Structure 1
Amino acid sequence: MNWEQLLSLKRFGDRNKRLRKEQDPTRLGFEVDYDRVIFSAAFRSLQDKTQVIPLSKTDFVHTRLTHSLEVSVVGRSLGRLVGKELLRVHPYLEETHGYQYNDFGAIVAAAALAHDIGNPPFGHSGEKAIGEYFSSGSGSRYRDALTDKEYEDLISFEGNANGFKLLTESREGVSGGLRLSYATLGAFTKYPKESLPKKPTKHIADKKYGFFQTQADFFRELAEELGLESRGRTGDNSYSRHPLTFLVEAADDICYTIIDFEDGINLGLIPEEYALEYLIKLVKDSINTNKYNNLVHMQDRLSYLRALAINTLIADAVRIFMENEDKILNGIFDTALLDRSQYKAQIADIIDLSVERIYRSDEVIEKEIAGYRILADILEVFTDALTRDKEGNASNYDRLMIGLLPPVFRNSSGSVYEILLNTSCYVASLSDGAAVHIHNKITGKTL
């Protein structure tokens, strides 16, 4: 892979090549990507989607929206720092093509801003709830109507693939979705493969999948434009990661490791004294002990430690990326950046504590259980209604249910796979509160 291709400014439907040196400096293409994501309806819905505690009404607990904004800020710093180093190593990118280090920051920031845009309500349990509806719930009856890959898309429903669909899917009157630059779409795609074969190797790019069968053709076009290396067997859609994806992933890993830990302390699930104990090796070279000791309020102390810890991990991620640039460009770097961190042991300790005290807390588990039932019930009602409508057997009740759907999700003329996938994506688009509200409607609890 080469950086000139990887930094493609092309957008869906372009007929002429976009050159970096011809960009309007007041409205750079990669910065437009950020704007398009932040003004999208899908991004706004993240304000009421779970990051740590489902349906939490506590002001200082992060939602998917605040998490995504923070990941984009960290991603921008990572991109700029790496971009500065890359332009020193590859000066032709600036001298011949006009790329600036801020371009790398803008690409990573936009991709990071969108990284959770396809995630269902109720956190990762939402993905599992959708998948289990089709694998072991009522949705399993559709198995014989689907190909293996189509069925895998549903039983292993993936927020990353739904995000790619949201960003790129054409609909009536709107071609190419948000029409982001191909560089940003490449950086967004953590798992540049289809759902089967499932985990064919231990390479980080094979951990999950990144696009549904409905987007497979477009992803091939994207991979060709960016010069992503094919990794799969003949006939499989599997490619090497865009190098900047590693920075998007690192930004996410840094934020959820440190900030979820901070949320756990603010919620009282983790004692404050654990903060300095678990972060000391990350902050020992930068902490001003007098400043820290003079901070009166717990939240101020936590904020100070969090900022220092994030800066330490940013610097370490940049070091790892630059030391392994050749391997990354050749598609043979096979782990997340933080898996090679000198602070790997400390990161693991923080995550283990967060899993024990936060993610497995009674409040989280109880609301995730409720989420399973809520999402399964919503899927049941709408998949039944749409598939019966396709067959010409819709009842009056079915038509009423279809009328509850946004117009873009009411079409029953497509294949069974398209109906089931679109309904799953509708459910995934709901915020936590909206899912509860719709469930109340279909179960008659609002009467």
Structure 2
Amino acid sequence: MNWEQLLSLKRFGDTNKRIRKEQDETRLGFEVDYDRIIFSSEFRSLQDKTQVIPLSETDFVHTRLTHSLEVSVVGRSLGRRVGQKLLEKHPHLQKVHGYQANDFGAIVAAAALAHDIGNPPFGHSGEKAIGEFFINGSGKAFKDQLTDKEYQDLCDFEGNANGFKILTEHRKGRLGGLRLSYATLGAFMKYPKESLPKKPSPHIADKKYGFFQSEKEIFLEVASELGLIKRSTESVSFSRHPLAYLVEAADDICYTIIDFEDGINLGLIQEEYALEYLSKIIRNTIKPENYYALSTKQDRIGYLRALAIGSLINEAVDIFMKHEDAILNGTFDCALLDKSQYEAQIKDIIKISVENIYQSTEVIDKEIAGYGVINTLLTTYTRAINNGFNNTASNYDSLILKGLPDTIHVTEPSLYKRLSSVCYYVSLLSDSKAILDYKKIKGIDF
């Protein structure tokens, strides 16, 4: 792969090539991507979607929106730092093509901002709940009417693929979705493959999948424009866009350190663990006199968190540059932080977070409730749209259909697209709206 292609400013529907040197420096194309994402209704709904603690009533806990904003800030720093080093290493990118270090930062920041935009309500348990509906629930009845890949899309409902759908899906009056630059779309795609075969290799790009069958053609167009390396002759699978590694690193840094911080502020993890487990990561930057001068737990943990994030940013940049050649030829097969000298500390922190936060009674109880909510919504909506399509809708089905948006097409002849549109609708609901719709269906608090 080469950086000239990878930094493509092209957007869906363009008939002329966008030249970097011709860009308006006060309204750069990559920065437009960020603006389009942040003003989208899909991004706005993240303010009421679970990050770790579902439906938390405290101010300490991050939502998907605050998490995404923080990942974007870290991503911008990573991108700018890497961009500066890449321009020193490949000066023609700046001298001939006009790229600047901030371009890399803008691309990574935009892709990082959108990295969770496709996640359904109730966190990762929401993804599992949608899949469970098709594996063991009422949705299993559709298996024989779908292709293997279509069915796998639904059984392994994937927030990353749903995010790509949000960013690129054609809608009436909105062809190409948000019409982001292909460089940003490439950086967004952590798993540039289809749902089958499932995990064909230990390569990080094969861990999950990145697009539904409904977005296959636009994915192929983006991959071709960016010059991504094809990794399989039997299925659609490509190497990652190099900047996807930075988006992933930004996410890894934030959820490792900030989820840990949330757990301490909530009292789920002892404060003493913060200094104990972060000490090696921050040993070169911490000033004990500054730390002990802070009078509140929240300020002390915030100080340690800021130092830890800064240290991991520096290391991620060094790892990227050390392995740039392997990243460009598609042979770098793990996350950047998997090469970190602090890998042991990171794993210890994640282990503590899993035991004390992700598996806490509060989280588990609300994930169970989330399963019930999503199963009820999918059962009710899929029955209504399919009965509507077959002209067998009951009065109740008709009432349900009247309450659904135009994005769910009852007359769509493809069963896969009808089912996908229901999953898409449910995935866009906030936690509170999903519960409200559930209560309406159940006749609760009417």
Q: Report if TM-score (shorter chain) is over 0.5.
A: yes
Does residue 1:357 correspond to 2:356, yes or no? yes
User: Equivalent residue of 1:24, what SS?
Assistant: coil
Q: CA deviation at 1:270?
A: 0.3
The alpha carbon displacement at 1:52 in A equals: 1.2
SS of the residue corresponding to residue 283 of structure 1 reads coil
CA distance in 1, matches of 2:231, 2:86: 25
Residues 402, 410 of structure 1: 8 Å contact kept: no
Q: Does 1:147 align with 2:147?
A: yes
Give the match's secondary structure for 2:88. Answer: helix
**Which residue pairs with 2:297 in the alignment?**
298
Q: Structure 2 matches for 1:56-205, cutoff 5 A? A: 56-205=56-205
> Counterpart of 2:369?
370
1:36-435 alignment runs, 5 A limit: 36-234=36-234, 236-435=235-434
Tell whether the 8 Å contact from 1:403 to 1:410 is kept in structure 2 after alignment: no
Match of 2:2 in 1: 2
Residue 411 of structure 1, CA deviation: 3.6
Asked if the contact 1:168–1:177 (Cα under 8 Å) also holds between the matched residues in 2, the reply is yes
Letter in 1 for 2:68: S
- Could you tell me which amino acid in structure 1 is paired with residue 321 of structure 2? M
Identity of aligned residues (%): 68
Aligned residue in 1 for 2:24: 24
CA contact (8 A) 1:162 1:425 kept: yes
Alpha-carbon distance between aligned partners in 2 of 1:73 and 1:166, rounded to the nearest angstrom: 22
Q: Residue type matched to 1:379 in 2? A: L
Aligned-partner Cα distance in 1 for 2:214–2:409:
17
Give the whole-Å Cα distance in 2 for the aligned partners of 1:71 and 1:208: 20
Alignment partners' CA distance in 2, 1:43 and 1:155: 25
| Offset of residue 410 of structure 1 | 4.3
Unaligned runs of 5+ in 1: none
- Post-superposition Cα deviations, 1:265-295, rounded to whole Å, max 9, x if no partner, equal 0000001111100100011110111111100
How many aligned residue pairs are there? 446
Give yes or no for contact 1:387–1:412 (8 Å, CA) kept in 2. Answer: no
AA in 2 matched with 1:366: D
What TM-score do you get using the length of structure 1 for normalisation?
A: 0.99
**Aligned residue identity for 1:351:** I
Contact residue 382 and residue 419 of structure 2 kept, 8 A:
yes
**Cα distance in 2, alignment partners of residues 87 and 256 from structure 1:** 30
Say which SS state the counterpart of residue 199 (structure 2) adopts. coil
**CA RMSD between the two structures:** 0.7
- Separation in 2, partners of 1:296, 1:381: 53
Q: Which amino acid aligns with 1:437?
A: L
Q: Which amino acid aligns with 2:268?
A: L
- Structure 1 contact 167–177 (Cα < 8 Å) conserved: yes
TM-score between both structures, scaled by the size of structure 2: 0.99
CA-to-partner distance for each residue in 1:90-126, whole Å, 9 max, x for gaps? Answer: 0000000000000000000000000000001111110
Q: Which residue identity lines up with residue 98 of structure 2 in the other structure?
A: G
CA distance in 2 between partners of 1:57 and 1:10 (Å)? 43
CA distance in 2, matches of 1:194, 1:360: 30
CA distance in 1, matches of 2:375, 2:95: 56
Corresponding position: 1:443 with 2:431: no
Q: Any conservation in 2 of the 1:165–1:212 contact (CA below 8 Å)? A: yes
Report deviation, 1:413. Answer: 2.0
Unaligned ranges ≥5, structure 2? none
Aligned equivalents of 1:110, 1:412: Cα separation in 2 = 35
Query: What is the deviation of 1:396?
Result: 1.4
